[in-house]
Amino acid sequence: MVEGGCVEAELQGLAMAGATALVGLIVSEGFERAKSGLARLFGRGASGEAAEEELQAAHEDLTRARAVGDVGAQSDVQARLQHRLEGVFREDPDAAGELARLLSELAPDASHAFVNLVSGGVNLAPVFQSSPISGDIHFHVPSAPSSATGDRVRPDQVPVVTGTFSNRTVQLGDLEAWLGMLAGDSGSVGVRVLSGLPGVGKSALAWRCAERVKGLFPDGQLYVDFATLRDLVTPMTGPGGDVSEALAMCLRGLRGLSGGDFGIPDSLLDRANLFRSRTAGLRILLVLDDVNQAAQVRALIPKGAGSAVLATSQGTIGELALDGGTRFVPVKPLDVHGGLELLKDRCGAEAVEAEPEAAERLVRLCDGLPVALQVAAARLVGDSLSMAELAAELDDETGRLAGLALDGEESSVSAVLGPSYRLLPPDAARLYRLLGWLPFGLFDAGVAAVAAGTDPGSAKRLLGVLAKAGLVEKAHDKRYRMHDLVRLHARERAAEEEPQTEQSALTQRVGTHYLVLTAFADRALRRERLRIADLEDLLRDAADPFAAADGPPPLEWLDAERSAILAVLRDAVRHELHTLAWRLAESFSVLFLYHRYLRAWTETLELGIEAAEAAVAAADTAGEMEEATAGGARLRSLLSRPLIDLGQNNRAGEQLQRAVELAEATDRLDLRASVQEFLGRYLEIVDPSEAAGAYRRSLQLNEQAGETRGVALATFFLGRALDARGDHAEAMALLRRAQRDLENREEPDLRMAARVKAAIGVVHGHLGDTGQAIHDLREAIRELAGVADGMQYEAQARVRLAGLAEQAGGQEELVRECLSRAAGINDALGNQRLAEELRRRLTDLDR
């Protein structure tokens, strides 16, 4: 005979996991290969007629439902498959093992939960005590004893999910499979904590899961909302008041409404003991919303085997992580696909498909938070807005929270985040507010410390408090992330509660922090470089992270932080921190000399120029005025480079003309020499006959200033200009001199030396020595490919090599290889104009 009265519940758990895996297989490319095996399994017994047609119908129904985003229809098919599997497993326990083998072969990613149920030693089906069953699976389910009390009713307290539940299908399936495993375990009680920031959908996921697994818990489901209990607790209640009341609620729920609090002890300890006694013979599910203390979970873990606790929390509670049976399940914001599915549920698939780009923009502006997306959907429908209209409104950060509100009420995001913020201790609340003023959402503890004006140790401690509250999350690279809408809420609180001068002071602190670091990174990449800003006092007592043995590579750090640095630079200009802004723009430009992000480089320099001009106007001393004037000249000459690459030659010429004027107004020979060098590079494009004159002036000024590296660079550019106008012998002599000077320096400039070698190869080609020219260019390409900052010049050398090879004839493959590689490099560098030009040349080769 079958032992126990809960076999059907356990079969339901097994069939539920199997149906979830089947859905993944049926909509995959492996369905056709699996169809015959599935048909044999479904065709067992009297219920197996037309099994293949049944599976094909499921496939068509699922495909159609997925195409239109009909989540309800997909759930219907899954329920149909679950019911079918229950019948199959009831008739033949061996069928589960056969299905597990089939799924693990054809759909391993979708089936791990079901396969674990079957093969992981968990028994989920009836064992017949009179004789063994052949096959891989043995079912042993203990009965769920009846309550000893006569007045107990089966509680069903978990709130229902209103509206269509979409997304989270993988997490939902994993939770259901875990609960199914618990149902068949004779001695285990499980705990899972769904963690994530407020409004991310933790409660909805827990409620939906509870709704789907009712059959696994014959003694009912209990529910406690700790957010509500916290509001009810008063100082008179004493510590643990919310836990004590939660225990009383559960004890009342276990016996029904009759009797009120009669028989419920007054003390927390006695209530906990009674709760364990009452649940010892029961199989129940407890859903605990918004826990923030380990005691809130531990006191409510039932004693009955097969029971479970499903809690939600805004952060990871460290004490619970020490419990062997507790696992945390992170619930992240929705990705674009998930957010679009939610909008389709609320607004209709037609509305989303009519404006796909605007719909995706809305998902990103709502930061993937379901609570924000739901308000956005309500506004789309209620206010008769188009997706594009609402996206345009929310695009302005200053009004985004107000835009995520209904009928003028407090925005849902503010309402959701408010309670978490109000529970923060004062120092953590202040850090939260100040982090809202950061113009970026990803930062390390050092930035947080500077923002708050505290030390890194204190900042880490406070960040831990914010992480526990779910207001920041720790990223994998030891940095912290504050999601955009959370940051806007923090900024809203800062505007209300911080002094008016604090935002500008914070920008000064954070901007100076990044100025110091970019200056150190600049110097780590090359000590010998023209720099206008005098930062010696600022750097003297600061720690250089790039000088440490385990310090970050400076170029990689600059690249990783470029969005944050540019955002800080914008804020510095907005807050009229003129000197800080132009100095930061100058130091930050080193990144773009290596990685030519042309748009970001252009914006950086334009912001720096604006700040330098304002600094000149606001200068209090002649020294301040001269330094800012020189800074403006330097930044304008640098700006000519991205403008030329973007094809904006007229603007580049205007910037250089002004740079020459500003440089001549200073006594800095090195600056005037550098500006003439940039002018020469511009003239090479617009008026080559004049380029050599600019380079000769640069060479003379560098020699007067004693700038030996500047002399070598000017010599290189002069030699290249002379070669272009036909003076090949003089060009070769100058280039060989420049190559020696660059290679034999105390700090060898390998990138520039390789560029000179490429230019020497070009001169050999002009002199008719094609073989030597190709050899030199190949060597230069190899050397440029070996330095981190040589990509652009590698591309230039490849283009020159392609031209030589094409001219020599018979080397079509070399021509194609060089042009293709050069086009790919320019794509990576953001120079789409040149990349397209090179691809046109490749196309012409095929004609």
CB atoms closer than 10 angstroms to residue 807: 12
* Cut 0.85: pTM above it: no
Tell me the CATH number at 180.
Answer: 3.40.50.300
For 277-290, the pLDDT digits (tens) are 988 888 899 999 98
Residue 234 pLDDT > 60: no
The pLDDT of residue 55 is: 80
Do 366 and 455 fall within a single domain? Answer: no
Do 230 and 301 fall within a single domain? Answer: yes
Helix (H, G, I), strand (E, B) or coil at 343: helix
Do 440 and 316 fall within a single domain? Answer: no
The pLDDT of residue 66 is: 60
Do 310 and 365 fall within a single domain? Answer: no
Q: Which of 585, 576, 676, 667 is nearest to 626 (CA)?
A: 667
Cβ atoms of residues 538 and 515 within 8 Å:
yes
List Cα–Cα distances, 756 to 91, 121, 353, 781, in angstroms. 82, 70, 55, 11
Q: Please give the share of the chain, as a percent, with pLDDT higher than 70.
A: 84
* Alpha-carbon gap, residue 252 to 224, rounded angstroms: 12
Cβ atoms of residues 539 and 520 within 8 Å:
yes
CB atoms closer than 10 angstroms to residue 258: 10
Strands 473-474 and 285-289: unpaired
Q: Per-residue confidence at 425, pLDDT binned at 50, 70, 90?
A: very high
Q: Which of 392, 413, 409 is nearest to 401 (CA)?
A: 413
Q: Which of 180, 187, 152 is nearest to 280 (CA)?
A: 187
Cβ atoms of residues 515 and 397 within 8 Å:
no
Cβ atoms of residues 490 and 428 within 8 Å:
no
* Alpha-carbon gap, residue 301 to 725, rounded angstroms: 86
Residue 3 pLDDT > 70: no
**Cβ neighbours for 596, distance < 8 A, ≥ 6 positions apart:** 642, 645, 792, 829, 830, 831
Structural domain contains residue 242: yes
The pLDDT of residue 516 is: 97
For 744-764, the pLDDT digits (tens) are 888 888 888 999 999 999 999
Residue 339 pLDDT > 90: no
Q: Which of 102, 134, 104, 139 is nearest to 121 (CA)?
A: 139
- Here the tokens at position 815 are 């021509």
- Here the tokens at position 356 are 């796909």
What DSSP state is assigned to residue 409? P
- Here the tokens at position 311 are 């809690």
Cβ atoms of residues 656 and 675 within 8 Å:
yes
Sign of CA dihedral 208, 212, 213, 214: positive
* Alpha-carbon gap, residue 280 to 103, rounded angstroms: 37
Please work out, in degrees rounded to the nearest 5, the angle formed at the alpha carbon of residue 303 by the alpha carbons of 298 and 304.
140
Residue 674 pLDDT > 80: yes
Residue 97 pLDDT > 80: no
Note the residue count of the chain.
Answer: 847
Structural domain contains residue 701: no
- Here the tokens at position 430 are 């202040």
The pLDDT of residue 142 is: 39
Residues 514-522: what's their mean pLDDT? Answer: 97
For 764-818, the pLDDT digits (tens) are 999 999 899 999 999 999 988 887 667 888 998 999 999 888 888 888 888 889 8
List Cα–Cα distances, 398 to 390, 487, 497, in angstroms. 14, 11, 17
Structural domain contains residue 546: no
Average pLDDT of the chain? 83
Split into its structural domains, the chain has a count of: 5
Do 322 and 350 fall within a single domain? Answer: no
Helix 445-452 × helix 426-436 angle, to 10°? 100
Residues 345-359: what's their mean pLDDT? Answer: 88
H or E element that contains 194: strand 190-195
Q: Which of 712, 634, 642 is nearest to 676 (CA)?
A: 634
Least confident window among 24-28, 192-196, 336-340, 552-556: 24-28
Q: Per-residue confidence at 13, pLDDT binned at 50, 70, 90?
A: low
Residue 628 pLDDT > 90: yes
User: What do you get for the CA distance between the two ends of the chain, in Å?
Assistant: 83
Please work out, in degrees rounded to the nearest 5, the angle formed at the alpha carbon of residue 551 by the alpha carbons of 547 and 554.
80
Tell me the CATH number at 785.
Answer: 1.25.40.10
Do 341 and 325 fall within a single domain? Answer: no
H-assigned helices in 526-561: 536-540, 554-560
Q: Please give the share of the chain, as a percent, with pLDDT higher than 90.
A: 39
Domain of residue 33, residue span: 7-119
The pLDDT of residue 311 is: 92
| Single residue among 498, 517, 548 that ends a domain in this structure | 498
Residue 116 pLDDT > 80: no
Do 175 and 305 fall within a single domain? Answer: yes
Residue 508 pLDDT > 50: yes
Residues 508-520: what's their mean pLDDT? Answer: 97
Least confident window among 45-49, 313-317, 374-378, 681-685: 45-49
Structural domain contains residue 516: no
More confident residue, 366 or 116: 366
Sign of CA dihedral 446, 448, 452, 457: negative
Tell me the CATH number at 472.
Answer: 1.10.10.10
The pLDDT of residue 141 is: 36
Structural domain contains residue 259: yes
| Single residue among 444, 469, 498 that ends a domain in this structure | 498
Cβ atoms of residues 497 and 433 within 8 Å:
yes
The pLDDT of residue 825 is: 85
Sign of CA dihedral 158, 163, 164, 169: negative
- Here the tokens at position 338 are 């998930």
Q: Per-residue confidence at 8, pLDDT binned at 50, 70, 90?
A: low
Backbone φ/ψ region at 45: left (φ over 0), alpha (ψ -120 to 50), beta: left
Do 268 and 374 fall within a single domain? Answer: no
Structural domain contains residue 481: yes
Do 289 and 389 fall within a single domain? Answer: no
Locus of tokens 């490429």:
758
Sign of CA dihedral 592, 594, 595, 596: positive
| Residues pairing with 287 in the sheet | 223, 310
Do 286 and 211 fall within a single domain? Answer: yes
Least confident window among 103-107, 383-387, 671-675: 103-107
* Alpha-carbon gap, residue 421 to 482, rounded angstroms: 14
What DSSP state is assigned to residue 788? T
* Alpha-carbon gap, residue 271 to 257, rounded angstroms: 17
Residue 243 pLDDT > 90: no
Structural domain contains residue 829: yes
More confident residue, 623 or 19: 623
Do 178 and 311 fall within a single domain? Answer: yes
More confident residue, 259 or 589: 589
Do 311 and 175 fall within a single domain? Answer: yes
The pLDDT of residue 570 is: 96
* Alpha-carbon gap, residue 30 to 25, rounded angstroms: 7
Q: Which of 674, 686, 762 is nearest to 710 (CA)?
A: 674
Q: Per-residue confidence at 682, pLDDT binned at 50, 70, 90?
A: very high
H or E element that contains 329: strand 326-330
For 452-470, the pLDDT digits (tens) are 999 999 999 999 999 888 8
The pLDDT of residue 256 is: 65
CB atoms closer than 10 angstroms to residue 411: 22
Least confident window among 122-136, 538-552, 587-601, 689-703: 122-136
For 608-625, the pLDDT digits (tens) are 999 999 999 999 999 999
Torsion, Cα 288 291 293 294, to 10 degrees, reads: 40
Least confident window among 118-122, 250-254, 363-367, 647-651: 118-122
Residue 146 pLDDT > 50: no
Q: Per-residue confidence at 99, pLDDT binned at 50, 70, 90?
A: confident
Structural domain contains residue 599: no
| Single residue among 466, 482, 498 that ends a domain in this structure | 498
Residue 262 pLDDT > 50: yes
